[in-house]
Amino acid sequence: MIKYLIIDDEYIAHDIIKGYCDMLPNLQLQKNCYDALEAIHYLNEYEVDLIFLDLNMPKLKGFDFLKTLSAPPQVIVTTAYSEFALEGYELNVVDYLLKPFGFERFLKAMNKVISAPKSTPTPGKVAERPVGAERIFLRGDKKYQQIVTDDILFIEAAGNYSKVVTKEETIVTREKISHLLGLLPAADFLQVHKSFAIAIRHIKSIEGNRITIADHLIPIGKMYKMNVDHLLP
């Protein structure tokens, strides 16, 4: 469960962000804060995993607030001002959403949150990042599903769709293989054919131009054979 905080002086922004979060599993709103001082008081007593942070607020600006946190949780900046993006990345924000933003762009930011490296807890931390297996959100069967990346066996292109085959199920999504690989840990997944990408950890055997994963035979394309050869001694 990802516990999150919204810090924004606009009520409509709270409604939009919460509405998007409600469409995804395992997200829990902890508090709506309408200025940064209110957020500081809350964080002195409670922990969150993620902050949605507006920049142009009364009393204390967003980045000034962020600088007061010795070890902040993950932060997604939400603002109408693009000129502050560079400073945001210098402060290690996860993503920078320019208002107004749609759900697809919001989902991309949330996938960055889920796939970000997990930090080790340290004394005196204001909040901790979520601990556990890496996960991504996939849109399939008219809903968004949260998938543990370690459970993915392989990905197969299927026309305008891709099939994400896991240990338990097959999810059909409209994303391209190239986009899905961009969401997954690069060290753990390998494209072996124009239509197939595999999870290296689940390889059972490699024989000729075929890879066996569980009960599936995956072809190795000529253009990708070098990728596979790098796995072999």
Question: Residue 149 has what DSSP assignment?
Answer: G
What's the whole-model pTM score?
A: 0.58
Assigned CATH topology for domain 147-229 = OB fold (Dihydrolipoamide Acetyltransferase, E2P) (2.40.50)
Positions of CATH 3.40.50.2300 in the chain: 2-115
Assigned CATH topology for domain 2-115 = Rossmann fold (3.40.50)
Question: Residue 8 has what DSSP assignment?
Answer: -
Rg (CA), the chain: 20
Across 31-40, 159-168, 176-185, the highest mean pLDDT is recorded for 31-40
5-56 pLDDT, tens digit each? 999 999 999 999 999 999 988 899 999 999 999 999 999 889 999 999 998 8
Task: Give yes or no for a contact between 59 and 35, defined as CB atoms under 8 angstroms apart.
Answer: yes
Positions of CATH 2.40.50.1020 in the chain: 147-229
64-76 pLDDT, tens digit each? 888 888 778 999 9
